[in-house]
Amino acid sequence: MDQETITLLRTLCSKVKEIANLCDSFLEQEAKKQKKTVALSKIETPLPNRLIPLTKWPEFHHWPTVPALRYYALMRHRNGFERVLRRVGKRLLIDEKSFFEWVEGQKRHSPK
């Protein structure tokens, strides 16, 4: 092989490496975008309509506290919280989906 052919092959190899690096970085960026999209879609997925015992609420959500929930339940006829509560015997259950709808309704009706 002559010197000119060797130089040409080295140049081609270096260009192939550059293209491979560009492809890798492009694929990484696309993967990050896809992860963000998946994360957003998880946020937007509707909550299942599950009933959570009032005392077990902290096992599923950090807010509100059990005493706050008891207060909302006590004042349910004034604040509309009766839409959220289900009573089974002595047990108070919170309809999770209704709770977050109620919270959104509180935001809309709060004084500015």
| Regions of the chain with pLDDT less than 70 | 36-48, 109-112
Q: Is the pTM of this model over 0.85?
A: no
- Residue pair 16/54 in contact by the 8 Å Cβ criterion: no
pLDDT of residue 81: 95
Residues 6 or more apart whose CB falls under 8 angstroms from that of 82 comprise: 76
Query: What was the pLDDT predicted at 101?
Result: 92
pLDDT of residue 48: 63
The residue ranges of DSSP E strands in the chain, in sequence order, are 51-53, 85-88, 91-95
